[in-house]
């Protein structure tokens, strides 16, 4: 399913960038690209035990899986005036997984 997932992620990234260009300056559009979250319904099929959480956490530079609060904190920033010069960005929130995975 790597091809399907990559295709979908690429489409969403393209949509974020296109909408950012079309809707500026009235509306800012950014995307959040999270890694696997331990408290997500989508990950429940993969994460079935504390051992799985620990093993998958070790694949991230910060040695843990993310959670909803990690994403909520970035979301709060993006909807605030503190990010008023950001649009068209895809922001990875992945515990450093992208810097250690080839």
Q: Taking the model in full, what pTM does it have? A: 0.86
Q: What is the pLDDT of residue 101?
A: 63
The answer to whether the CB of 87 falls within 8 A of the CB of 28 is yes
Mean pLDDT of the chain: 93
Q: What is the pLDDT of residue 46?
A: 83
Beta-carbon contacts of 89 under 8 Å, excluding residues fewer than 6 positions away, are 16, 20, 30, 31
Residue range 74-92: average pLDDT?
Answer: 98
pLDDT digits 0-9 by tens, 26-69: 999 999 999 989 988 888 888 888 999 999 999 999 999 999 99
Nearest-angstrom CA–CA distance, 44 and 66: 13
Question: Which sequence spans correspond to the domains of the chain?
Answer: 2-100
According to CATH, what is the number of the domain 2-100?
3.40.50.720
Q: What is the pLDDT of residue 39?
A: 85
Q: How far is CA 44 from CA 49, 51, 56, 66, in A?
A: 10, 14, 13, 13
Confidence of residue 88 (pLDDT cuts 50, 70, 90): very high
Q: DSSP assignment of 4-24, as one string?
A: HHHHHHHHHHHHHHHHHHHHT
């Amino acid at each position: 399913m790597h091809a399907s997932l990559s295709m979908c992620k690429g489409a969403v990234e393209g949509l974020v960038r296109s909408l950012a260009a079309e809707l500026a300056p009235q509306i800012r559009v950014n995307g959040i690209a999270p890694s696997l979250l331990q408290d997500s319904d989508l990950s429940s099929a993969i994460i079935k035990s504390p051992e799985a959480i620990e093993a998958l956490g070790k694949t991230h530079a910060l040695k843990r899986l993310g959670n909803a609060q990690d994403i909520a904190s970035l979301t709060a920033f993006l909807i605030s005036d503190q990010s008023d010069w950001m649009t068209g960005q895809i922001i990875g929130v992945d515990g450093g997984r992208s810097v250690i995975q080839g």
